[in-house]
């Protein structure tokens, strides 16, 4: 049995995989740029139709948007090809993945990975749906559509789980198949997640398939989670996945040590293996994507080819004694989406996962940038592949061990403007990286060996004659009856034995030298083993320390998360209090504003009332002046008439003090009318005809009519002096305006009773005149206060 990755001690030769060699020619013809494609996701249903992507041609687009402060003008980005929202999965497969499948069946390697923000359609591009499969199902269907009739028997080619393969005899392959059947029979429950999943097969075949070779297809599925590598098809560890180590084989190719590579003989078996790994893949719901990948997943398809030179009697291909082996690998990588914490609001484990994803993507970007600078400036800077498991695993691809292609997925929503700008910048930079073309070199295989100790020749192989350096001992029959012949035969045997002894001495010396060399090798191997064991022990100690640190950090992280949760709850409570206080302040401000408005309105009303009262007072004063002027004129007229009467010796005319101005005017006019031109005849006639009038005086109290207003019912004090109002009208409330405007009333008295400062009861009478106003109403002018009280003469 031969391995393609490790050296076996002994004389048997290895079955070696083809080695990719780099040419010394540095011309640009020997290098291919990294092919970058772009796929635009359709706008989500129910969202705004506005987007930030403007397509100019099949390979050029611009990023536009008014919401950015950084981008002030439109910038164009060019790609190998741009797939719009109307492009189908079949178009993407035929344009990107089909050339990689042609290289795969020719023994070349290929790497295809999707890049973009969360929710941009990366997983859909690679996987798709059952009715509309993506790149991965179409690749598997195309491979088995092409090599379905040229497959090697199962278990003839076996993975050594160290990036190599072993060629087994038919007996060993049969034994492995038998063990697999027994293992499946012992397993009562089927493999977790191995439900049958079928995709639509469009029947695409790969042209120029070498029909003289036999093929075997192997698949593996790993993920990089928090910068650790896990095998999604490894069921030996149970539910908890074990961290795997990355190693480098003798050809400087990176691989996952101990990874499970499943040999599949149909597309359905490959889909079942993929579905089993998919159920173990770490996904979680975020605010941007309900089914967001929390790790980078790598699905590897390896096709092993052997030259077929013979067919056994059963029509099955047999392993030839001399052959070539070619191994082609296609890695389909679904990178986790870059995330911004400000948009996803991740906390706890989701925040740690997002940080690890962003760090690995940043390492990928840094490696490509340094490769680009080295190629442009012809520098020799060290590319930091070891900073991340993602870049370390694909180091050999970027150094010329296959074709690298990238699909940039973009969500055209205006909300993803900033993220799209960073993705497009990375894609533009990646196109300047050039990868050296690989050449194929084959290694011939001369022998195979079997695991069966009893059978050292390969099954169904041609028999080869035995070969030795010593003389051959022939079988001799001794005839006892003929002693001479017996002696002759014995002599010949003795001569042959002596000759063999002579010739065996150098062989023994050579054997001793070889034994010494083997012992030396064993000693060297033992020393290496001891050193490796000590190194492993020290590494285990370091790992245990790191695990302890990790546990401590996890405990601290949990404590900090608890504190953060408490602080968040307190913050929410304080925000609620602040909001309530703000509402209270707003209400008070509203009331203050309302009070200010009411005060302003009151001030305006008071100003209007004052202005109106001022006008009324001015009008009243003007009328009073006119009344007084008219009274003065009337008095002057009276005095003039009296003087004239006295001068003319006429009997006196009785003038009442209550006479009104119209009467005086009328009398003065009559007196003037009685005058003659000489001024004496009219007065004399009046004197003759007039009768003497008696002069009377009207009492003031006789004309006073009081309006007595009793606010409260006063208590009798028993004093001698009591209010005396002969004509009065008593009321307790002024309900009507007519109570004051009654023309018969001319005096007003307000009766109030209250205790003084010494506690003695006192009755007060507030007196005033009722004066009519110009508007037909009346007003009270207070002019006197009368106090009635009763005191004890012995209180002091």
Residue whose tokens read 């004129």: 633
Closest CA to 337 of 511, 116, 546: 116
Question: How far is the CA of 650 from the CAs of 452, 645, 654, 655, 677, in angstroms?
Answer: 182, 5, 12, 15, 18
For residue 704, the cross-strand partners are: none
Whole-number Å distance between alpha carbons of 254 and 279: 26
Whole-number Å distance between alpha carbons of 332 and 301: 8
Q: What pLDDT is stored for residue 344 in this prediction?
A: 57
User: Alpha helix (H) ranges present in 378-394?
Assistant: 389-393
Q: Is the pLDDT of residue 236 over 50?
A: yes
| Inside any domain, residue 121 | yes
Which tens digits make up the pLDDT trace of 73-102? 577 888 999 998 889 999 999 999 999 999
Strands 81-83 and 35-40: parallel
Residue whose tokens read 């199902």: 137
Final residue before a domain boundary, out of 411, 431, 451? 431
Contact present, 54 and 9 (Cβ < 8 Å): no
- My answer on whether 225 and 304 are in the same domain is yes
CA dihedral (569, 573, 574, 578) in degrees, to 10, reads 150
89-98, 158-167, 385-394 — which is least confidently predicted? 158-167
Question: How far is the CA of 561 from the CAs of 564, 567, 735, in angstroms?
Answer: 5, 10, 77
* Residue 664 phi, psi (nearest 5): -60, -45
Name residues whose C-beta falls within 8 Å of residue 722's C-beta, 6 or more positions apart in sequence: 788
| Inside any domain, residue 547 | no
Q: What pLDDT is stored for residue 342 in this prediction?
A: 53
Q: What pLDDT is stored for residue 494 in this prediction?
A: 82
Q: What pLDDT is stored for residue 655 in this prediction?
A: 40
Strands in 123-279 per DSSP E? 157-159, 165-167, 213-225, 228-231, 243-244, 246-248, 254-256, 262-264
Known binding residue 795? Answer is no
Final residue before a domain boundary, out of 415, 431, 447? 431
Higher-pLDDT residue of 191, 384: 384
Whole-number Å distance between alpha carbons of 166 and 1: 6
255-259, 475-479, 500-504, 585-589 — which is least confidently predicted? 475-479
| Inside any domain, residue 166 | yes
Known binding residue 116? Answer is yes
Known binding residue 348? Answer is no
Q: What pLDDT is stored for residue 308 in this prediction?
A: 61
Q: Which two tokens stand for residue 85?
A: 């929202």
Contact present, 23 and 440 (Cβ < 8 Å): no
- My answer on whether 661 and 741 are in the same domain is no
Whole-number Å distance between alpha carbons of 112 and 334: 9
Whole-number Å distance between alpha carbons of 125 and 52: 21
- My answer on whether 676 and 709 are in the same domain is no
Whole-number Å distance between alpha carbons of 493 and 487: 10
Q: Which two tokens stand for residue 720?
A: 């001698």
**Which of 321-335, 379-393, 757-771 ranks highest by mean pLDDT?**
379-393
Can you give the three-state secondary structure of 549-587, one letter per residue?
Answer: HHHHHHHHHHHHHHHHHHHHHHHHHHHHHHHHHHHHHHH
What is the pLDDT of the chain when averaged over all its residues?
A: 76
Q: What pLDDT is stored for residue 217 in this prediction?
A: 94
Closest CA to 308 of 297, 316, 296, 319: 319
- My answer on whether 120 and 234 are in the same domain is yes
72-76, 302-306, 318-322, 629-633 — which is least confidently predicted? 318-322
Known binding residue 119? Answer is yes
Q: What pLDDT is stored for residue 4 in this prediction?
A: 38
Q: Is the pLDDT of residue 656 over 60?
A: no
3-state secondary structure of 444: coil
CATH number at residue 778: 2.60.40.4330
Q: What pLDDT is stored for residue 70 in this prediction?
A: 44
Closest CA to 413 of 127, 64, 133: 64
Which tens digits make up the pLDDT trace of 311-359? 555 555 555 544 567 889 999 999 887 766 555 555 666 677 777 787 8
Contact present, 381 and 410 (Cβ < 8 Å): no
Whole-number Å distance between alpha carbons of 324 and 156: 15
pTM reported for the whole predicted model: 0.53
With b meaning 16 or more CB within 10 Å and e meaning fewer, what string describes 603-620?
Answer: eeeeeeeeeeeeeeeeee
Q: Is the pLDDT of residue 734 over 70?
A: yes
Instruction: Please state, as a whole number, how many other Cβ atoms lie within 10 Å of the Cβ of residue 550.
Output: 12
- My answer on whether 709 and 672 are in the same domain is no
User: Alpha helix (H) ranges present in 733-792?
Assistant: 738-741
Owning domain of residue 666: 649-688
Final residue before a domain boundary, out of 378, 396, 431? 431
| Inside any domain, residue 743 | yes
Q: What pLDDT is stored for residue 34 in this prediction?
A: 86
174-188, 364-378, 522-536 — which is least confidently predicted? 174-188
What does the angle CA 318 – CA 321 – CA 323 come to, to the nearest 5 degrees?
Answer: 85
Q: What pLDDT is stored for residue 280 in this prediction?
A: 84
Closest CA to 25 of 439, 592, 639: 439
Length reported for the chain: 796
| Inside any domain, residue 397 | yes
Whole-number Å distance between alpha carbons of 81 and 404: 15
- My answer on whether 249 and 317 are in the same domain is yes
Which tens digits make up the pLDDT trace of 424-476? 888 888 888 887 765 554 444 433 444 443 333 333 333 333 334 455 666 66
In which band, very low, low, confident or very high, does the pLDDT at 12 lie, cut at 50, 70 and 90? very low
- My answer on whether 681 and 731 are in the same domain is no
In which band, very low, low, confident or very high, does the pLDDT at 498 lie, cut at 50, 70 and 90? confident
- My answer on whether 730 and 656 are in the same domain is no
3-state secondary structure of 63: strand
Q: How far is the first Cα of the chain from the last one, in angstroms, to the nearest whole number?
A: 140
Domain count, the chain: 3
Q: Is the pLDDT of residue 796 over 90?
A: no
Contact present, 63 and 417 (Cβ < 8 Å): yes
The greatest distance separating any two alpha carbons of the chain, rounded to the nearest whole angstrom, comes to 232
- My answer on whether 668 and 709 are in the same domain is no
Contact present, 335 and 363 (Cβ < 8 Å): no
Q: What pLDDT is stored for residue 332 in this prediction?
A: 94
Contact present, 379 and 369 (Cβ < 8 Å): no
- My answer on whether 710 and 679 are in the same domain is no
| Inside any domain, residue 497 | no
Which tens digits make up the pLDDT trace of 509-529? 888 888 888 888 888 888 878
294-308, 384-398, 469-483 — which is least confidently predicted? 469-483
Instruction: Please state, as a whole number, how many other Cβ atoms lie within 10 Å of the Cβ of residue 40.
Output: 22
Whole-number Å distance between alpha carbons of 14 and 6: 8
Q: Is the pLDDT of residue 388 over 80?
A: yes
CATH number at residue 314: 3.40.850.10
Contact present, 276 and 233 (Cβ < 8 Å): yes
| Inside any domain, residue 757 | yes
- My answer on whether 678 and 710 are in the same domain is no
| Inside any domain, residue 501 | no
- My answer on whether 657 and 770 are in the same domain is no
Residues above pLDDT 70, as percent of the chain: 74
* Residue 420 phi, psi (nearest 5): -65, -35
Instruction: Please state, as a whole number, how many other Cβ atoms lie within 10 Å of the Cβ of residue 485.
Output: 14
Known binding residue 466? Answer is no
What does the angle CA 572 – CA 576 – CA 579 come to, to the nearest 5 degrees?
Answer: 135
Q: What pLDDT is stored for residue 569 in this prediction?
A: 92
- Residue 161 falls in which region: left (phi positive, over 0), alpha (psi -120 to 50) or beta: left
**Which of 460-464, 499-503, 637-641 ranks highest by mean pLDDT?**
637-641
Which tens digits make up the pLDDT trace of 528-570? 788 888 888 888 888 988 899 898 998 999 899 999 989 999 9
165-179, 191-205, 407-421 — which is least confidently predicted? 191-205
Contact present, 110 and 103 (Cβ < 8 Å): yes
């Amino acid at each position: 049995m031969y391995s393609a990755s490790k050296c076996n001690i002994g004389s048997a030769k290895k079955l070696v995989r083809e080695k990719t060699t780099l040419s010394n020619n540095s011309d640009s013809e020997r290098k291919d740029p990294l092919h970058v494609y772009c796929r635009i996701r359709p706008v989500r249903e129910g969202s705004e139709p506005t987007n930030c992507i403007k397509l100019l041609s099949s390979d050029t687009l611009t990023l536009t948007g008014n919401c950015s402060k950084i981008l002030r003008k439109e910038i164009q980005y060019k790609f190998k090809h741009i797939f719009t929202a109307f492009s189908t999965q079949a178009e993407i497969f035929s344009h990107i993945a089909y050339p990689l499948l042609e290289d795969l069946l020719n023994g070349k390697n290929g790497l295809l990975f999707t890049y973009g923000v969360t929710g941009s359609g990366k997983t859909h591009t690679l996987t798709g749906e059952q009715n509309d499969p993506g790149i991965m199902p179409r690749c598997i269907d195309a491979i088995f559509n092409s090599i379905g009739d040229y497959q090697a028997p199962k278990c003839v080619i076996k993975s050594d789980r160290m990036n190599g393969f072993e060629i087994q005899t038919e007996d060993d392959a049969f034994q492995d198949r038998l063990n697999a059947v027994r293992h499946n029979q012992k397993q009562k429950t089927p493999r977790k997640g191995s439900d049958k999943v079928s995709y639509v097969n469009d029947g695409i075949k790969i042209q120029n398939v070498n029909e003289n070779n036999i093929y075997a297809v192997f698949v593996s599925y790993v993920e990089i989670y928090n910068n650790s590598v896990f095998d999604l098809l490894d069921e030996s560890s149970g539910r908890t996945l074990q961290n795997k180590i990355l190693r480098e084989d003798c050809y400087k190719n990176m691989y996952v040590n101990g990874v499970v590579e499943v040999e599949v003989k149909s597309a359905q078996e490959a889909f079942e293996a993929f579905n089993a790994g998919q159920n173990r893949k770490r996904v979680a719901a975020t605010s941007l994507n309900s089914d967001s990948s929390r790790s980078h997943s790598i699905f590897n398809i390896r096709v092993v080819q052997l030259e077929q030179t013979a067919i056994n009697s059963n029509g099955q291909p047999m392993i030839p004694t001399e052959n070539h082996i070619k191994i082609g690998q296609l890695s389909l990588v679904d990178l986790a989406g870059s995330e911004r914490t400000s948009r996803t609001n991740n906390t706890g484990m989701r925040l740690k996962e997002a940080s690890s994803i962003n760090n690995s993507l940043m390492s990928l970007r840094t490696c490509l940038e340094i490769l680009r600078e080295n190629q442009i400036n012809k520098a020799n800077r060290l590319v930091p592949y070891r900073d991340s498991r993602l870049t370390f695993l694909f180091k050999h691809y970027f150094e010329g061990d296959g074709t690298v292609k990238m699909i940039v997925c973009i969500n055209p929503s205006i909300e993803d403007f900033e993220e799209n700008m960073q993705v497009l910048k990375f894609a533009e930079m990646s196109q300047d990286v050039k990868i050296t073309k690989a050449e194929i070199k084959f290694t011939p295989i001369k022998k195979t060996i079997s695991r069966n100790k009893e059978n050292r020749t390969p099954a169904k192989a041609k028999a080869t004659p035995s070969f030795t350096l010593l003389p051959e001992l022939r079988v001799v029959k001794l005839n006892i009856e003929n002693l001479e012949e017996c002696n002759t035969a014995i002599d010949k045997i003795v001569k042959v034995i002596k000759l063999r002894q002579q010739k065996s001495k150098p062989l023994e010396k050579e054997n001793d030298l070889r034994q010494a060399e083997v012992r030396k090798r064993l000693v060297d191997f033992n020393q290496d083993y001891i050193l490796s064991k000590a190194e492993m022990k020290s590494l285990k100690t370091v790992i245990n320390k790191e695990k302890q640190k990790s546990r401590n950090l996890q405990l601290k992280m949990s404590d900090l998360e608890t504190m953060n949760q408490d602080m968040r709850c307190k913050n929410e409570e304080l925000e609620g209090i602040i909001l309530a206080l703000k509402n209270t302040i707003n209400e008070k401000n509203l009331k203050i504003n309302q009070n200010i408005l009411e005060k302003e309105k009151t001030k305006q009303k008071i100003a209007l009332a004052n202005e109106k009262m001022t006008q009324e007072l001015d009008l009243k004063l003007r009328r009073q002046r006119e009344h007084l002027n008219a009274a003065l004129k009337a008095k002057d007229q009276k005095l003039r008439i009296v003087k004239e009467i006295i001068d003319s010796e006429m009997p006196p005319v009785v003038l009442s003090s209550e006479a009104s101005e119209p009467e005086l005017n009328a009398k003065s006019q009559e007196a003037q009318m009685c005058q003659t031109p000489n001024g004496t005849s009219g007065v004399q006639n009046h004197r003759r005809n007039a009768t003497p009038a008696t002069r009377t005086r009207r009492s003031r109290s006789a004309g006073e009519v009081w309006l007595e207003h009793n606010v409260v019912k006063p208590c009798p004090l028993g004093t001698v002096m009591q209010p005396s109002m002969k004509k009065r009208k008593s009321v307790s409330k002024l309900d009507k305006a007519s109570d004051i405007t009654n023309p018969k009333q001319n005096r007003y008295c307000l009766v109030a009773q209250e205790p003084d400062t010494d506690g003695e009861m006192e009755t007060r009478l507030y007196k005033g005149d009722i004066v009519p106003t110009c508007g037909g109403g009346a007003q009270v002018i207070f002019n006197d206060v009368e106090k009635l009280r009763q005191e004890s003469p012995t209180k002091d």
